[in-house]
Amino acid sequence: EEEIKVFSNAKEVLCVISWTSGAIMMLRWLGVTAEDEVIVPAYTYSATALAVLHAGAKPVMVDSGEDFNISVDAIRKAITPRTKAIIPVDIAGFPCD
């Protein structure tokens, strides 16, 4: 962590064992609670929704577009006053833009 901190000139660095652990940590850092919803793609690895559940929030799954990535139109329709975050996931080498 110290070497990465120096290399990246970051103020703080915390290494975690997996993407899931990092996602849970970031959701909690963002203040996500049981009152919140987090939008996730329906077509993704289960860890995406599980991270939201472990952080205490409700995952809201939305459909994918023709490129298999989370649909922007579906995201717009899923946003509510309880939406706290959106976790897009790149699929099959197609980046979420």
Sequence-separated contacts (24+) of 25-34 with Cβ below 8 Å: 27/51, 27/52, 27/55, 27/57, 27/85, 28/55, 28/56, 30/84, 30/85, 31/84, 32/56, 32/57, 32/84, 32/85, 33/57, 34/58
Using the predicted structure, report yes or no on whether residue 97 has a pLDDT greater than 80: no
Q: How far is CA 83 from the centre of its chain?
A: 12
Q: What whole-number distance in Å separates Cα of residue 52 and Cα of residue 36?
A: 10
Structure confidence by residue, pLDDT tens digits, 57-86: 999 999 998 889 999 999 999 999 999 999
Indicate the pTM of the whole model.
0.87
Structure confidence by residue, pLDDT tens digits, 9-45: 999 999 999 999 999 999 999 999 999 999 999 999 9
What pLDDT does residue 62 have?
97
| Range list of β-strands (E), the chain | 37-41, 58-62, 83-86
Kind and range of the H or E run holding 78? helix 72-78
